[in-house]
Amino acid sequence: MAARRRRLKKKTRRQVQIWAAVAAGVALVWGAANWSTVWPVLVTVLAAAALGGSCWALLRAHRQAVGRDRAWRAQEEARARELSMTQVDALTWQEFEMYIAELCRRDGCRDVVVSGRSGDLGADVVGYLADGRKLVIQCKKYAAHRSVSSQDMQKFVGTARLEHRADVALFVTTCRAFTRDALGLALRQDIVALHRDLLGSWVKGAHLESLIPLNGTGGGTRLRPSAPGCPPGPGPSQGVNG
């Protein structure tokens, strides 16, 4: 049965090929007999096909160029942030706190005060946003590869509102990430977690109030919190403050 089916398929395929060859021959004979009518149509079809192919190639090349340009711009913006952050990294932790205060003043905050001392209960910078809400900031100047630990976040959570009556509590750091536990705690307790990439955007001119809703995410190179258990201990390029 299977062999008979294969023979039928082979026979049918041969018949289709024969009829296709006959049709092609008839078309060629007819085209030759009516060439004066056929050639303008043939030329038009070929020209349209060539034009369509050229347009498609140009469109594809344009899209690729736009994609490359966007990628280049994103890389340049990231590089510019890192160049600015290199200057921030050179600051002492005291200078870093003063610099954060200057960024707040630049964005319209008033009555901005820097603690500049230990035992400040997490309030390194205190001020008021333009709409009157009290802003309390914890500044941690850590090496870029480090992570803010949940212990650091717990200390700030415990004082930001109970001790300092913060309406907006901001934890800003020079390292690239918060641990998963630290970021989860920040989100649950409505603490704004500003890691290195978001800080870089702030340094480059982004307004503070546009960064507050991002809270630990944003268009940085590392969007997810790192695994727990990597506390930011002191290192050669790392200051400890607060």
pLDDT digits (tens, 9 = 90+) for 44-85: 777 788 888 888 888 888 888 888 888 877 776 666 666 688
Least confident of 45-49, 125-129, 132-136, 139-143: 45-49
H-type alpha helices, the chain: 2-33, 35-89, 93-106, 150-160, 180-188, 196-203, 208-211
Tokens of 236: 């050669």
- Sequence-ordered list of residues with C-beta below 8 angstroms from that of 202, at least 6 positions apart, any chain: 103, 194, 208, 211
Q: What is the pTM of this model?
A: 0.60
| Unique residue bearing structure tokens 């030759």 | 32
pLDDT, tens digit (0-9, with 9 covering 90-100), for 153-209: 999 999 998 889 999 999 999 999 999 999 999 999 999 999 999 999 999 999 999
- Sequence-ordered list of residues with C-beta below 8 angstroms from that of 212, at least 6 positions apart, any chain: 168, 170, 192
Q: How many CB atoms lie within 10 A of CB 127?
A: 19
**pLDDT grade, residue 96 (50/70/90)?**
very high
Q: How many CB atoms lie within 10 A of CB 66?
A: 10
Element (H, E) at 191: strand 191-194
